[in-house]
Amino acid sequence: MVMTVGLLFMAVLVIVPFTLASMRHLVLRSGRPGWLHRRLAARARSSGLGLGATATEELHAFFNANKRVQIEQRRTQLVMRDDDHAGAPPRTGIDLDGGTAVLRGRR
């Protein structure tokens, strides 16, 4: 009995978000109904992962600790600053107040 309840709970955690994500994808692709398409399209630009993908990743992380590390690493990468020339001597210099830009070629 307990195992059946556990399996039913796990199925709900996976199947419901997957079904919602599939219906969202179908509405965005078909454009019908129009009012729902407009609402979902406005939200689609600002969101990252969908609900189904997030739920699946969290479920995977629950059973596998390495997935949790991967999710945390992804969050860290999003926050960290990304410099093109990190550690290298500067090849460019832009003075916004003076209105000048300096470009140095490779030697």
For the chain, 107 residues long, give each residue's pLDDT as a single digit of tens: 888 888 888 788 778 878 887 888 888 888 888 888 888 877 766 556 666 677 778 888 888 889 889 989 988 888 887 665 566 566 667 777 888 887 777 66
Indicate yes or no: pTM above 0.85: no
Helix (H) or strand (E) holding 100: strand 100-103
Decide if 8 is inside a domain. Answer: yes
Decide if 9 is inside a domain. Answer: yes
**Number of domains within the chain:** 1
What pLDDT is recorded for position 6? 83
Decide if 90 is inside a domain. Answer: no
What pLDDT is recorded for position 87? 60
